[in-house]
């Protein structure tokens, strides 16, 4: 079957964007040139310019693409929470889903956090489109279940989010070392399990959830 007209162009654009996103995540905006992107993507500089124009435009497209990936975390966590059960179970399932998501989307998180390092804050559209809905839905879900006011709930969720980002960006080797796993099989899996259990415990402590004996 013949490839649809424009398919090669779309594939090239997609490849360039993927390469650019990875380079921006690794080296930042200032440390990445259009020639770097063209070389890694295996295309000419003119091709990159044709698809995206100036470097600021491809950077903006990269951030938007990563934003779209991370936007799905809210749905992932909400689906885990909707499975029901005790508050302990809801927290465990939601945190486990978030950790898996974060490890799969390291480049996206890295690129988004680079904007925070550059400006000291999330971009306004991300605060309004992702952070605010996350805090509002989390507060709405938890307020009937714990004895904290809205401000306390928002701060607890934000604090755990910061921990989540840091652990998401850690290398596997770092997680293994942090967890103190020095021998035995499946060290990566055991380290991720330790991180997941720690984040669950941290959130429960911040929410003042009684320990389950």
pTM over 0.85: no
Range with lowest mean pLDDT among 78-82, 85-89, 143-147: 78-82
| The predicted structure's pLDDT at residue 212 | 60
Confidence grade of residue 178 (pLDDT, cut at 50, 70, 90)? very high
Confidence of residue 1 (pLDDT cuts 50, 70, 90): very low
Query: What is the CATH code for 71-206?
Result: 1.10.357
Alpha-carbon span 106 to 180, nearest angstrom: 22
Contact 12, 47 (CB under 8 A): yes
- Please give the structure tokens belonging to residue 65: 């693409």
Give the span between the Cα atoms of 63 and 162, in whole angstroms. Answer: 19
CATH 1.10.287.950 describes domain 8-63:
no
The 3 state secondary structure assigned to the chain is CCCCCCHHHHHHHHHHHHHHHHHHHHHCCCCCCHHHHHHHHCCCHHHHHHHHCCHHHHHHHHHHHHHHHHCHHHHHHHHHHHCCCCHHHHHHHHHHHHHHHHHHCHHHHHHHHHHHHHHCCCCHHHHHHHHHHHHHHHHHHHCCCCCCCHHHHHHHHHHHHHHHHHHHHCCHHHHHHHCCCCCCCCHHHHHHHHHHHHHHHHHHHHCCCCCCC
User: Are 138 and 157 in contact, with CB atoms under 8 Å apart?
Assistant: yes
Average pLDDT, the chain: 85
197-213, pLDDT tens digit by residue? 999 999 999 999 876 64
Statement: residue 85 has pLDDT above 50: yes
Place of tokens 């956090």: 113
What's residue 9's pLDDT?
A: 86
What are the structural domain ranges in the chain? 8-63, 71-206
């Amino acid at each position: 079957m013949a490839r649809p007209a424009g398919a090669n162009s779309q594939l090239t654009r997609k490849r360039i964007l993927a390469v650019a996103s990875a380079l921006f995540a690794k080296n930042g905006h200032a440390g990445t040139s259009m020639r770097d992107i063209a070389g890694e993507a295996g295309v000419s500089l003119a091709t990159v310019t044709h698809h995206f124009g100036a470097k600021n435009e491809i950077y903006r497209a990269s951030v938007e693409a990563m934003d779209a990936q991370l936007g799905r975390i809210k749905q992932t966590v909400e689906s885990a929470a909707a499975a029901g059960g005790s508050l302990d179970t809801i927290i465990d399932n939601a945190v486990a889903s978030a950790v898996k998501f974060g490890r799969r989307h390291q480049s996206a998180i890295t690129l988004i956090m680079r904007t925070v390092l550059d400006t000291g804050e999330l971009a306004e559209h991300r605060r309004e489109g992702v952070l605010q809905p996350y805090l509002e839905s989390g507060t709405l879900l938890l307020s009937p279940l714990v004895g904290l006011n809205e401000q306390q709930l928002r701060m607890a969720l934000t604090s755990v989010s910061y921990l989540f980002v840091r652990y998401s960006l850690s290398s596997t080797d770092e997680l293994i070392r942090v967890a103190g796993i020095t021998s035995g099989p499946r060290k990566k899996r055991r380290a991720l399990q330790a991180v997941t259990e720690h984040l669950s415990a941290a959130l429960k402590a911040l929410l003042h959830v009684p320990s389950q004996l």
